[in-house]
Amino acid sequence: KEELYVLDPERLIPCPYNKHHRIRACRFPYHLVKCKKSYPEVAKKLATCPFNARHLVPQADLSDHVLKCSDKGLIEQDIGKRTTCALRCLFTLEMNAMSTWQAPPCDEDWETGEELPHLPR
């Protein structure tokens, strides 16, 4: 039930700039932009979470928030999936390149150290 509540666009979220503001989740990003302009002194004291721009916390608490952020796992999981996919694609490309590559004909005679006349291709 908690997971469904988090996804509810109508749930009320407290504004980090003014504790008396309670904003619907679907309007929260727009409200943050507006309130940041209205409360520049408060904005200077807040830091934005690297995992979710909707998370504004006091600068002194950012390290603790980053360690505990509920969105951190989602980002790390996404990065892991992208990395795995990228490595798989890179491996496939390398295997294809290795299987189709052929060495060009050599124009040198390594025994004598002289170049050979060009061979017809």
Cα angle, residue 48 at apex, residues 28 and 14 outer, rounded to 5°: 35
- Range from 59-68, 90-99, 103-112 carrying the lowest mean pLDDT: 90-99
Whether the pLDDT of residue 115 is over 70: the answer is: no
List, for residues 4-57, the tens digit of each pLDDT value. 556 789 999 999 999 999 999 999 999 999 999 999 999 999 999 988 889 999
Cα dihedral angle (35, 39, 41, 43), rounded to 10 degrees?
0
The predicted structure's pLDDT at residue 102? 67
Question: Domain coordinates of the chain in residue numbers?
Answer: 2-69
Nearest CA to 106 among 92, 88, 118? 118
List, for residues 92-109, the tens digit of each pLDDT value. 666 665 556 666 777 776
